[in-house]
Structures are given as C-alpha cells and as structure tokens.
C-alpha cells in the first residue's frame, strides 16, 4: 500500500483508472476521512488538509483523535510453528503469550521503513548443531568452534559447503 505521512498520521493512496484520480483515507482512526486529487501534489495537499480538519473536528467535539486498540488480536500460524513457539517458550520458562509479546516488541524496535519485516525463525532443538572451523594452522594457527543453526532440509547442502571450505562438521545435537 502506498502511504502518505503527516503529523504522525498515515494516509493510504490509491488510483482509480476510470476516474483518473488519486484517492485515499486516513488510516488508524475510528472515523472515516477520505481525500482525493488529480496529481501527486493535489493528493498530498488534500491529505494534509484532511489531517488538519480531522484534528480540528476532534478538538471541537472533545474526542481523542486516535483509533483505540484493545491490545488483542488473533494470528493464524502453522501448527508446526505453534509447536516450536511453545517449545521455545518452555525453554525460556515463560508463557507462549510472553514469548510472542517479546518477539513482536523486538521486531518493532528493530524495524526500519527501508526493510521488510522478516520474522526470525527460531530453530527447533533438533536443528541446533555444532560445527568446527579448522583453519590451516600454518596460516592462522587457530581452531574455532562455532554453533550454527541448520534446518534439517538443508543439512546435506551445509555439509557440502563445510567440506568445500575444509571445515569439520560434527552434527552434534545440542539441546538448549
């Protein structure tokens, strides 16, 4: 969805081909506030005017100019994801609700408009493995062990990559 922003408000922008006009509505409010224009400048000016008029209307009526949110919403997820969330929440000794609240708060805190939100997929205990990176001692002189998460379906690909880099791969299942 294309949007405009002004004074903390967001407005949608759409285009009607038959009418040859841009149109939109003020998002995130309980009231219905529409605007339109035939050019980008006109729709932007109309949006700004709609926000200003809405704020004046709310002040005159003595109403709060934001949409009220209950803090409750339903999300449908795959049963396997539900199971993984329940297992991870149990590992952290917190409720599923607390786990989801924490994950959403982190996603919102780290969100930037330039990026799309891509939920972090938490690995299941069976997908946690240890890998040892053996770098040539004559060059670096060190051996480093790192933990990597590899989805089961990518295991053979990961083994091939490790082999090509000359790294030892020890699929040690580690329960965290």
Query: pLDDT, tens digit, for every residue of 58-110?
Result: 999 998 888 766 777 888 888 888 898 888 889 888 998 999 989 888 888 88
Q: What is the pLDDT of residue 139?
A: 47
Residue 163's pLDDT band, with cuts at 50, 70 and 90, is confident
Q: Residue 165: is its pLDDT beyond 80? A: no
Distance between CA atoms of residues 91 and 114, nearest Å: 33
- Kindly report which listed range (9-18, 110-119, 122-131, 164-173) carries the lowest average pLDDT score: 122-131
Average pLDDT, the chain: 78
Please state, in angstroms and rounded to a whole number, the distance separating the CA atoms of residues 31 and 19.
25
Q: Is the pLDDT of residue 175 over 90?
A: no
pLDDT score at 158? 75
Distance CA 44, CA 103 (A): 35
Q: How far apart are CA 126 and CA 106, in angstroms?
A: 25
Q: What is the pLDDT of residue 132?
A: 47
- Tell me the mean pLDDT in the region 147-169: 72
What are 43-54's pLDDT values in tens digits? 999 999 999 999
Q: What pLDDT, on a 0 to 100 scale, did the predictor assign at position 22? A: 94
Give residue limits of the domains in the chain: 2-61, 70-122, 125-170
Nearest 5°: CA angle at 121, between 115 and 126? 160
| 26/144 Cα distance (integer angstroms) | 55
């Amino acid at each position: 969805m294309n949007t405009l922003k002004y004074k903390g408000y967001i407005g949608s922008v759409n285009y009607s081909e038959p009418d040859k006009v841009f149109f939109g509505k003020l998002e995130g409010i309980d009231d219905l506030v529409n605007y339109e224009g035939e050019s980008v400048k006109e729709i932007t000016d109309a949006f700004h005017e709609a926000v200003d008029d809405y704020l004046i209307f709310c002040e005159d009526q003595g109403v709060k100019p934001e949409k009220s949110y209950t803090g409750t919403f339903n999300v449908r997820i795959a049963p396997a994801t539900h199971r993984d969330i329940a297992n991870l929440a149990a590992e952290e000794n917190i409720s599923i609700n607390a786990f989801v609240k924490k994950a959403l708060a982190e996603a919102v805190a780290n969100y930037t408009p330039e990026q799309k939100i891509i939920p972090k997929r938490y690995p299941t205990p069976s997908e946690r493995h240890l890998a040892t990176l053996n770098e040539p001692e004559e060059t670096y002189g060190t051996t480093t062990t790192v933990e990597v998460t590899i989805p089961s379906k990518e295991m053979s690909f990961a083994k091939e990559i490790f082999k090509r880099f000359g790294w030892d791969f020890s699929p040690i299942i580690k329960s965290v």
